[in-house]
């Protein structure tokens, strides 16, 4: 199984268009210690031909151009290496790319029923896209393995199983009576050679389900949004802390770094990293702490092979 990070940043990317935080400034000025990153997305394939995209970011067009296997192969007038998309939540940074791929190629989208409902009721991506191109939708039920098929119906060799992570609602889901079950999922993806990865870009707390999945994984790709809980507030960039936004910080006491450090997985990678997170500065003490724990700070273009 081959895994490629298409975009390692959280919503907004690095640099974010309107942000003047230290990292965004450094990235904008070409500082080699703060490498620009596009928004949250990963591509996975068993054979190097049929690729499943985990979350479709608003940067998908740039990401496709930066990774040739996703472009048309052969001589057909239209084509793509994208065999399907899998959404972990309904957030704008993870779903807007679906609108941008409206020109055709009938690859299916996979999500929980809840995410699908919200992408009809509040952010109506499914009905809008379906006016342009058929976009079949496969509903993923937590705990039930789903073999991933190519648009032609062949087995891709990959199986996805979702597990529930959190009941955090996107800001645009405004009806408090909405059932939040399935709002934020993690993915377990298994390949034909027995390799197993966990993808969890939205982790509010280390749940028993995440713990169990990560303990059996060769590769763990996990939420690296914030270093500290009050990062946005301290920088004067917002009023909500990390837990209000559904993200467990990396570096705080009880944060994800403590847990990940002791995890046996061969590869551990932070993803969905917000531009304010000081670990994005390769020369800083936070990045050093993460590296010393044997964990990678994801970058666009990083590749992994497992199983």
Chain residues that interact with Mn ion, rule: CB under 5 A: 10-11, 91, 93
Please report the DSSP string for 255-306 in residue order: SHHHHHHT---SEEEEESB-TT-GGGSTTSHHHHHHHHTT-EE--TT-EEE-
How many residues touch ligand MLT under the rule CB under 6 A: the total is 9
- Determine, following the binding rule CB under 6 A, whether residue 286 of this chain makes contact with ligand MLT: no
When the beta carbons of 83 and 280 are compared against Mn ion, the nearer one is 280
Which residue(s) pair with 188 in the sheet? 161, 198
Buried b (16+ CB within 10 A) or exposed e, 1-13: bbbbbbbbbbbbb
Which residue reads 């009023």 in tokens? 239
**DSSP-derived pairing of the beta strands 137-139 and 146-149:** unpaired
When the beta carbons of 148 and 221 are compared against ligand MLT, the nearer one is 221
Least Å distance, CB 190 to Mn ion, is 25
Least Å distance, CB 40 to ligand MLT, is 8
Segment 88 to 147, residues that bind ligand MLT, using CB under 6 A? 91-93
When the beta carbons of 114 and 156 are compared against ligand MLT, the nearer one is 114
3-state secondary structure 183-252: CEEEEEEECCCCCEEEEECCCCCCCHHHHHHHHCCCEEEEECCCCCCCHHHHCCCCCCCCCCCCCCCCCC
Least Å distance, CB 192 to ligand MLT, is 32
Segment 142 to 201, residues that bind ligand MLT, using CB under 6 A? 171
Which residue(s) pair with 272 in the sheet? none
DSSP state of 9: B
Token digits of residue 132: 């342009």
- Determine, following the binding rule CB under 6 A, whether residue 13 of this chain makes contact with ligand MLT: no
- Residues 89 and 191: their CA atoms lie apart, in Å, by 23
Segment 202 to 221, residues that bind ligand MLT, using CB under 6 A? 202
Nearest to 257 by CA among 206, 219, 298: 206
If contact means CB under 5 to 8 A according to the sort of partner, which of Zn ion, Mn ion, ligand MLT, none does residue 44 touch? none
When the beta carbons of 59 and 91 are compared against ligand MLT, the nearer one is 91
Segment 220 to 249, residues that bind ligand MLT, using CB under 6 A? 245-246
When the beta carbons of 32 and 174 are compared against ligand MLT, the nearer one is 174
Determine the residue with CB nearest ligand MLT.
Answer: 11
Nearest to 199 by CA among 272, 252, 264: 272
- Determine, following the binding rule CB under 6 A, whether residue 10 of this chain makes contact with ligand MLT: yes
The total number of residues shown for the chain amounts to 307
Q: Which of 2, 5, 11, 67 binds ligand MLT (CB under 6 A)?
A: 11
If contact means CB under 5 to 8 A according to the sort of partner, which of Mn ion, Zn ion, ligand MLT, none does residue 275 touch? Zn ion
Binding site for ligand MLT (CB under 6 A): 10-11, 91-93, 171, 202, 245-246
């Amino acid at each position: 199984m081959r895994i490629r990070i298409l975009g390692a940043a959280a919503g907004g990317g690095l640099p974010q268009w309107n942000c003047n935080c230290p990292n965004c400034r450094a990235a904008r000025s070409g500082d080699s210690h703060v490498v620009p990153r596009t928004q949250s997305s990963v591509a996975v394939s068993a054979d190097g031909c049929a690729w499943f995209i985990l979350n479709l970011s608003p940067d998908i067009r740039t990401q496709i151009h930066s990774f040739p296997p996703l472009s048309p192969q052969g001589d057909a007038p239209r084509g793509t290496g994208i065999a399907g998309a899998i959404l972990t939540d309904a957030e704008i940074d993870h779903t807007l790319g679906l609108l941008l791929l409206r020109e055709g190629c009938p690859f299916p989208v996979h999500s929980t029923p809840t995410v699908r409902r919200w992408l009809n009721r509040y952010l109506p991506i499914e009905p809008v896209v379906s006016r342009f191109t058929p976009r079949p939708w496969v509903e993923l039920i937590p705990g039930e393995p789903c073999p991933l098929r190519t648009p032609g119906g062949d087995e891709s060799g990959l199986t996805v199983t979702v597990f529930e992570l959190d009941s955090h609602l996107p800001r645009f889901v405004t009806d408090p009576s909405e059932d939040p079950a399935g709002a934020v999922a993690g993915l377990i993806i298994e390949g034909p050679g027995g390799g197993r990865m966990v993808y969890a870009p939205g982790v509010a707390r280390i749940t028993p389900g995440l713990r169990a999945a990560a303990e059996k994984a060769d590769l763990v790709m996990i939420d690296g949004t914030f270093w500290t809980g009050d990062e946005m507030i301290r920088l004067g960039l917002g009023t909500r802390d990390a837990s209000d936004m559904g993200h467990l910080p990396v570096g705080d006491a009880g944060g994800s770094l403590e847990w990940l450090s002791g995890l046996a997985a061969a590869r551990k990678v932070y993803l969905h990293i917000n531009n304010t997170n000081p670990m994005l500065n390769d020369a800083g003490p936070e990045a050093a702490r993460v590296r010393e724990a044997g964990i990678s700070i994801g970058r666009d273009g990083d590749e992994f092979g497992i199983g």
